[in-house]
Chain A
Amino acid sequence: MCLAIPVRVIELLPEQMAKVSLDGVSKTISTALVDNVAVGDYVILHVGFALSKVDAEEAERTLAMIRNIAEDAP
Chain B
Amino acid sequence: MKYVDEFRDGELARGMARRLAKIVRPDRDYRFMEFCGGHTHAISRYGLEDLLPTNVRMIHGPGCPVCVLPIGRIDAAIELARKPEIILCTYADLMRVPASGGDSLLKAKAAGADIRMVYSTLDALRIAETEPQRQVVFFAIGFETTTPPTALAIRLAARKQLSNFSVFCNHVLTPAAMRAILTSKDDRVELDGFVGPSHVSAVIGVTPYRFVATEFEKPLVVTGFEPLDVMQAIVMLTTQVNEGRCEIENQYGRAVSPQGNLKAQAEIADIFDLRESFEWRGLGEVPASALRLRETYAQFDAERRFAVETPVARDNPACECGAILRGAKRPHDCKLFGTVCTPETPIGSCMVSSEGACAAQWTYRRFDEPTREERMAS
Pairing of A with B: yes
Q: Which residues of chain A have a CB within 8 Å of any CB of chain B?
A: 1-6, 8, 22-23, 29-30, 32-35, 42, 44, 46-49, 51-56, 58-59, 61-63, 65-67, 69-72
Known contacts A1-B38, A52-B256; 10 additional CB pairs below 8 A are A1-B93, A5-B4, A47-B142, A48-B121, A49-B149, A51-B145, A51-B148, A61-B253, A62-B232, A70-B15
Chain A residues whose CB sits within 8 angstroms of the CB of B19 once the complex forms: 69-70, 72
**Interface, chain B (partner A; CB < 8 A):** 1-4, 6-7, 11-16, 18-19, 22, 36-38, 63-66, 91, 93, 119-123, 141-143, 145-146, 148-149, 152, 197, 199-200, 202-203, 225, 228-229, 231-232, 235, 251-257, 261, 263-264, 267, 353, 355
A48 contacts B6, C-beta separation under 8 Å: no
Task: Determine how close the nearest CB of chain B comes to the CB of A62; give it in whole angstroms.
Answer: 6
B152 near A49 with CB under 8 A, answer yes
| Closest chain A CB from B300 CB (angstroms) | 18
Q: Please measure, in the bound complex, the distance between the C-alpha atom of A63 and the C-alpha atom of B12, giving whole angstroms.
A: 10
Q: How far is the CA of A62 from the CA of B355 in the complex (A)?
A: 25
Say whether A48 contacts B119, CB under 8 Å: yes
CB atoms of A35 and B2 under 8 A apart: no
Enumerate 17 A-B pairs (CB-CB under 8 Å) in ascending A order.
A1-B355, A2-B143, A2-B146, A4-B225, A34-B261, A42-B3, A46-B145, A51-B145, A51-B203, A54-B3, A55-B254, A62-B229, A62-B232, A62-B251, A66-B232, A70-B11, A70-B15
Of A52, A67, A69, which is within 8 A of B255 by CB? A52
Considering the chains assembled together, what is the distance between the CA atoms of A62 and B2 in angstroms? 14
Residues of B within 8 A of A52 (CB): 202, 255-257, 261
Whether A30 pairs with B122 at a CB distance below 8 angstroms is yes
Contacts of A48 in B (CB 8 A): 119-123, 149
Asked whether A2 and B145 contact (CB < 8 A) given A54-B255, A55-B253, A65-B232, the answer is: yes
Chain A residues positioned under 8 Å from B37 (CB to CB):
1-2
Question: In the docked arrangement, what's the CA distance between A4 and B253, Å?
Answer: 15
Known interface pairs A61-B253, A69-B19. Does A6 touch B3 (Cβ–Cβ under 8 Å)?
Answer: yes
Q: CA–CA, A67 to B232, complex, Å? A: 10
Report the bound CA distance from A54 to B254 in whole Å. 5
Contact between chains at A51 and B261 (CB < 8 Å): yes
Cβ–Cβ < 8 Å partners of A34 in chain B: 261, 263
Q: Are A69 and B202 in contact (CB under 8 A)?
A: no
> Cβ of A56: which chain B residues have Cβ within 8 Å of it?
254
Closest chain A CB from B238 CB (angstroms): 11
With a CB–CB cut-off of 8 A, which chain B residues contact A46?
A: 145-146, 149, 199
- A16 vs B2: C-alpha distance in the bound complex, in angstroms? 24
Partner of B15, one of A4, A61, A71: A71
Q: How far is the CA of A8 from the CA of B338 in the complex (A)?
A: 40
The 6 closest A-B pairs by CB, nearest first: A48-B120, A70-B15, A6-B3, A59-B254, A58-B254, A58-B253
Assembly CA distance A5 to B73 (angstroms): 29
State A70–B9 Cα separation when bound (angstroms).
11
A59: chain B residues at CB < 8 Å are 3, 6, 254
Query: B120 near A1 (CB under 8 angstroms)?
Result: no
Q: How far is the CB of A27 from chain B (nearest CB, A)?
A: 9
Distance to closest chain B CB from A5 (angstroms)? 7
Q: Contacts A2-B146, A62-B251; is A51 near B199 (CB within 8 Å)?
A: yes
Give the docked Cα–Cα distance between A55 and B257 (Å): 10
